[in-house]
Amino acid sequence: MKEKFKDRYITLALFFIAFGIAIVYQLVDLQIVNGKKYYEDSRYVTQKEREVIAPRGNIYDRNGVPIATNKQAFSLHIVRTEMGNSEFNDMIFQLVNVMEKNGDKFESTLDKYLTFDPISFNNQSEEKIAKWQKDVLGVKEADIMKTPQKVFEFLRNKKFEIDKKYTDEEAYKIMRVRHEILLEKWKFDTGNSICLAKSISWETVAEIEEKNHIFRGISTDVEPIRQYINAKDVAHILGYVRPISAEEYKELREEGYKNDDIIGKTGIEKQAERYLRGKNGRKKVGVDANGVLTVDGIGGEPAIPGNDVVLTIDMKLQKVAAESLKNRIDWIRGLGGEKNFGDADAGAVVVQDVNTGEILAMASYPSYEPSIFLAPSDDKEAQQAIIDLNDPEKKDSSEFNRAIQGIYAPGSTFKPITAIAALEEGIITPDKQILDSGSLTVPGNRTLRCLEYPVHGHGYLDLKKALETSCNIYFYDIGMNTTIDKIDKWAKYFGLGEYTGIDLPNETKGIRANRENKQKLYKNRVDQMWRPVNTAMTSIGQDDNAFTPIQMVNYISTLANGGKRYTPHLIKRVLKYDGSIVNETVPQYEQIPVKQSTIDAVKKGMIGVTTSIDGTAKEAFKDFPFEVAGKTGTAETGRESTQSSNAWFVAYAPADNPQVAIAVVVEKGVWGSYAAYIARDVLTEYFKLDGSAKIDDNVEPFEPVFTR
């Protein structure tokens, strides 16, 4: 009997020992072996994903000088946690106080519709206010509120249920934040993160992190922010980025864009968007039982930076082009003179490598500071600058890129085309003498005058002399004998009045004066016939001829290199973030059927423009160390009784071994010879010559006789 009891005690003891060992094992596993894992698991009530913003690709000039890069900035995020409405509003208000104390601000789209002090609709149409109430606030059509006070009360009392302990001003601050969450309601309700503010200070970050038990669901992160470096001189090439519009989102959402993405709007930022845009990553966000966020150690997918874009632009040359253009315009305005109304105010310069089609500089004046588009919405100075940007009454800045969008009659810079057509079609030889007696009567009884009339004409001229003196009578004569159809054929060969294919958005095509375009332009007029006087005026670059500076520089480049019409380009190569080449632009050209003897004959006349005693640009290029082949143009606008003519200068250099072509236009620049000084400044920088053509404020105004 005693043996049986003894066995039972032993069995029971063994059971308790085994049970104890199991408990100890579980405790060791729970607290020591897998303690950290179980601790972390116990903390996470939910796990959601937050997007990691990919850095946008950088933009550099041809020498690696940065133009557009990114800086790291702190951003503020929120995810949904279990809080009552009153508690949530209290937390938001405390968050606002922290931000304001540290000089940080929330950007809120509520400001677009409803403002405080006084409470009013912010210059929005009645239709937009109604649409906002329906689409965002969820107001029914029949309940649309007509006064800002009623909307304010609706948001305070019904939509966000803000406690009466808050003043109206305090309530409005809460509304601004709640409105941003409301815009992203679906994301917020499904537990995803919403960005509330960007570029917040370190002081704000530290305080939020320190008080994470108060700011439940609130976290900070580091995100890349676009920045531009000394970009005003290159603004029209660079462009800028801004939040995606509703129309753009509708078009691009299938490509993975979101309705709060930043996107290139103009310039290279837009043209190279598919390269510059990176691929966003993901990281998980854990929310513990207390509503405190953590993102450490949960895994995710890293962001992939966008590709870098290297431009063909040389920033040093670009700066010289931009500064010379501005300074010379001021200089021209101050010169005075009978035909100078002192109204020169805008222009463009384009420099092209004649052997590759690369654009080395492209300046448009007036310019603007692209960084204004990166400023927060509460930066009133920047927002006003954006408003002023394209105001015709504000002449200090403009988004209009005159280099590819402005079209101007070319004036006498078109005469080499007329000469090429006449030579190629066998109408003249380089040595053929044509008499300029001072006037020429064309069929229809129209008499056209020489610029020296009524004193005298130029007498007999060959092609070289006609180009260097820019004799209109000579070109009237050979133009009418060549005929408009053949002149038009050769103008088209050289790309005038056609898209060049430059890798920038919104290029303008321009217009060639010809029979077809006359009918299109004057279809409502009785007389649409092409007449000899039209051919005569076209021959000197007038009539309906209107071309862009990019077309003009490409035409001169084609002339310089022997007839290779390149597609001009600004993107040299695209590099992956690891330095490997994604894409490199291969120069593309079309060989036009122009004889070298024709080019040589025109070249002699263009050299005479800058070197001969009668040359129309001899003053600008006197003492220049090598010969430049150029052509001035003073293009009449038909408003010469009240404003100055436009000034053109085109050239390539060196004349005996062409490397670069240049086109300069100055709106209301008076004489083409004035524009030649800008070309000299640019060529001096390009060839690194000692001493440029300095502006002399004491120069007497002069009115060259032969500048057409």
Q: Which residues are catalytic?
A: 412
605 backbone dihedrals φ, ψ, rounded to 5°: -65, -40
Give the count of beta carbons closer than 10 Å to the beta carbon of residue 386: 17
The two beta strands, 564-566 and 571-575, are: unpaired
**578 burial type by CB count under 10 A (0-12 exposed, 13-18 middle, 19+ buried):** exposed
CA distance linking residue 285 with residue 545, whole number of Å: 63
- DSSP H helices, 110-234, are 110-113, 126-135, 148-153, 168-183, 185-189, 202-210
Amino acid at 481: N
SS (H, E, C) 496-546: CCCCCCCCCCCCCCCECCCHHHHHHHCCCCCCCCCCHHHHHHHHCCCCCCE
> Is the distance from CB of 367 to CB of 373 less than 8 angstroms?
no
As a whole number of angstroms, the distance between CA 619 and CA 376 comes to: 49
For 596-618, b where at least 16 C-beta lie within 10 A, e where not — what string?
Answer: eebbebbbbbbbbbbbbeebbbb
Give the strand pairing for 629-635 and 59-60.
Answer: unpaired
Q: How far apart are CA 361 and CA 414, in angstroms?
A: 22
CA distance readout (Å), 421 to 202, 276, 286: 68, 44, 75
- Which conformational region is residue 668 in: left (phi greater than 0), alpha (psi within -120 to 50 degrees), or beta? left
Q: What is the DSSP string of 42-101?
A: HHEEEEEEEEEPPPPPPEE-TT--EEEEEEEEEEEEE---S--HHHHHHHHHHHHHHHHH
Strand-pair category, 59-60 with 308-311: parallel
Write out the two tokens for 172: 């409005």
Contact 609, 468 (CB under 8 A): yes
